[in-house]
Amino acid sequence: MFKKILIANRGEIACRVIDTAKRLGIRTVAVFSDADANAKHVALADEAFRIGPAPVGESYLKIEKIIEACHKSGAEAVHPGYGFLSENPEFVVALDQAGVAFIGPSAASIRAMGLKDAAKALMEKAGVPVVPGYHGDIQDPDFLKARADEIGYPVLIKARAGGGGKGMRRVDDPQDFQNALTGARREGEASFGDGRVLIEKYLTKPRHIEIQVFGDTHGNAVHLFERDCSLQRRHQKVIEEAPAPDMPEEMRAAMGEAAVRAAKAIDYSGAGTIEFIADVSDGLQSDRFFFMEMNTRLQVEHPVTELITGEDLVEWQLRVAAGGVLPKTQEKLSFSGWAFEARLYAEDAPKGFLPAIGTLEHLSLPERLARVDSGVRSGDEITPFYDPMIAKVIVHGPTRDAALGKLLAALEATEVAGCVTNAAFLSALCRHAGFANGDVDTGLIDRDLAELIDEPDTPEDAVALAALAALGLTRPAKGNDPFETLAGWRIWSASRQFALLEIGGERREIEVRALGNRRFAVHLDTHVKTYEIVRVDGHALTYDCDGHRARAKVIVGGHDLTVFQNGYAFSIGLPDRLSGDEDAAGAGDQLIAPMPGLVKVVFAQAGEAVTKDQPLLILEAMKMEHTLKAPRDGIVGDLLVAEGEQVTDGTVLLALKEEADAAA
């Protein structure tokens, strides 16, 4: 076994690898960019080395910097995690030449599965069923359009070197094919340096089911059963589970055998995943699953397999890479119970799952209710440079219903302030009747998106507590100070104070009258309610209102506050009374960058008439393209950016003429 390894990654996967390495007595070396100098994975490792500035191309993708850190630290092997260099065969070759082991498959295996078109041809030879489509080398747009017409719509355009939903476009109408092809190529080039694509038939009711495989250098290969990853948005996984709902034993065996054949066809060693798509228009059937691709690395969702099998897949990786045989044969592997994993991201679900940035002013993860894999802590910053994952929340139960109930409880106990998250969206998915019944397919989220992202109105109690907190009336009592019970009270009459809040984009002035004994009358629109602060414990409040005792948490930031109550997080703004509303008033006339990014395409021209929701620009951020649309009908006035320009969060990109000027 290795004595010291280097982890060529960051975030939660780096922390995950460090955890197993420490349990096995293996010393760990972290690498970090300037943006990650104080990151959690750096703090957990035994030692760490700076490898460059924040952009991945100048740090985590610099092979020579990783090898230099190996030599300086004496690391015998490198664990690549996932993403970054994990599926780069040139990295494996460079490590081998430097005398450093790679904790993963051979360069030849990675190359064999690295391009989707070549991999599908290889799988056909191995007797593994593949999705109907065009996987050839000809990339002429008219030729590809003709192949799509032959396959029949809808079709899926996929960057052949893609992954993680990048470089992928669904096309339902032949007229949209060329624009979709251009976008898929552009995103594939930006993310993987390869703009070539393949075309596949899009199954109208598919399920994404993958098989965890493992091989060693002694010719052995096994599978560790399936995971269902059908809950996706923008082709990216949201909640994964193991095993797959309603999976017939016959189909489980057929998929497992096909996955092992695929692994053996390329002499695979280490952890890998064979991804299949199943046509479930008539339910799961053993002759209706097709090979999509192989991920020659550990998957983000590997914890659900660990929880149902009781195996540590990172430990398996380390033992196999050190030359050992697989810890178990196929006959010795079994699973029990059910597991779910939910990916908690810094993203705004109601705004098209737009990635978010910000400082985690408060972070409380449900570690008593679930396994939580995370690479961040309270006070850390979510930057635009990397994937905006905050944590993976993973649960296990004896049945699917029990496990899903545990997942919902864990998500409702999750608290994040300072950055918008998808926590409410994940909770809504857990409550979704179809998902709860196991009736899942990759189109579920898109079909029911409006229901899943519907945000509840901010309740009166949350508004009242926000007003009290904004006025400083919910601070903990200082020792035995008898005057604390008189907070805000006046001798001649109850004092009046006013809290200015911004709720749902509207400013509200909330009047609060202090009644003494930490009791307050709060004016809420047309009526008044009395609140008594019973107990304050840090951010947690216990209060009485109309004979009802309840609890909540209130986190006050610089310009906003968050009220956590009944499993929901309500974000409420704290406007500056001295600032005007000019910026807000003009928002409908401007297109503003929602995050830092690169202007990839500008569709509009000055003087052009546009209609509401017409695409005007494409902004690339966090390796994904985001289409920005016209906020209203109008005429383009000032075009303030050009293609290839890097912009910061809040930059005005384009302005429409004021309606009076446009009419003139």
Which positions are annotated as active-site residues?
297
Task: Report d(CA 52, CA 449) in Å as an integer.
Answer: 40
Amino acid at 291: F
Burial class from Cβ neighbours inside 10 Å (0-12, 13-18, 19+) for residue 403 reads buried
Whole-number Å distance between alpha carbons of 616 and 603 = 5
Question: What is the three-class DSSP state of 201?
Answer: strand
- d(CA 181, CA 159) in angstroms, rounded, equals 9
Cα separation of 346 and 359, whole Å?
10
> Residue 659: CB partners within 8 Å, gap ≥ 6?
634
Cβ atoms within 10 Å of 294's Cβ, excluding its own: 31
Residue 143 neighbours by CB distance under 10 Å: 12
Reference 256, options 206, 222, 297; nearest CA is: 222
Contact between 464 and 522 under an 8 Å Cβ cutoff? The reply is: yes
- The string of DSSP letters for 325-350 reads PPSS-GGG----SEEEEEEEESEEGG
51-to-8, 40, 68 alpha-carbon distances in Å: 10, 16, 9
The span from the CA of 14 to the CA of 10, in Å, is: 5
- In angstroms, the CA 528 to CA 535 distance is 22
The count of C-alpha atoms lying within 13 angstroms of the C-alpha of 83, restricted to the half-sphere facing its C-beta, is 18
